[in-house]
Amino acid sequence: MKKGLIGISNKVRENKEKIRIWSESFKRYVPNGEVVLIAANTTEDDILACQELGITYHIVEVGDTWFINNNRLIHTAEFLKSTDIELFMVTDVFDVIFQNDPFQKFDTENYDFFISGEGVLMNEEPWNSDVMNKCFPGEIEYCRGTEIVCSGVMGGKRDSLIPILMRMYDMCINANEDHNIRDQAALIIMVSKNEIERMKIFNLNDGWAMHCAAAGPTQFFDGWGLRNRITHRYGGVPQMIEGVVYTHENHKYDIVHQFNRIPEWHTQLIQTYV
């Protein structure tokens, strides 16, 4: 299968170094994979930056970038319709780094869509609960006991990703407009209602993706009680050892997301690429 990585950015020139870490860490472990940047509201200098990075770029207009998290869904789906790449990672750009091949754990015989849990339930984490209450108030009770899954790191077969992304986009544009970031809440609802067939959800002990906002030592980790909840549920919390992030059982994560929220982790993780 042809493999690819896709994400969105505006102000490409300004964010070139963040994009480079995302793209180069992927190419390090998937050397034959293609990196595609949805380049939003581009200038000529932004296009030149993409060429300097050696990545494929797809130019789109997103209008108000305040809603770029929601609008990226439809632009990504439209690109996927036009490509022959069969297996994709669809991720955030500025805060995702790869430590291994993200496709190696994919069982494509039995699953078409791959995501990961953050280690805590909806009713245990205030930010996601707030978004759900504001944007999808009718769904909060149904989702309260669901483990949070992250829309910033998704993977799967192109033909399965397209309808999922389009459904998420439709939910986002029809939600209450009380919060600008709605894509993750939409995904959580879809998961809670079993709308997605042949889906694999990796947990924190599987070593696929680790999301630092909930499972790393941020300012909320102890204040919100997340460390204790994750330890109780999974037996321990992710850890950094000599510049690499591992599960508590010393299995290296393929993907580290939101690493820029932990300054000491950020510094160590990007050393190879600076």
How confident is the model over 81-101, as a mean pLDDT?
98
Q: How many domains, the chain?
A: 1
Whether the full predicted model's pTM is greater than 0.95, yes or no, is: yes
Neighbours of 78 (CB within 10 A): 15
* pLDDT tens for each residue of 195-216: 999 999 999 999 999 999 999 9
| CATH code of the domain in which 220 resides | 3.90.550
* pLDDT tens for each residue of 12-60: 999 999 999 999 999 999 999 999 999 999 999 999 999 999 999 999 9
Q: Quote the percentage of the chain above a pLDDT of 90.
A: 97
Tell me the pLDDT band of 187, cut-offs 50, 70 and 90. very high
- pLDDT at 274 exceeding the cut of 90: no
* pLDDT tens for each residue of 147-175: 999 999 999 999 999 999 999 999 999 99
Domain that holds residue 72: 3-273
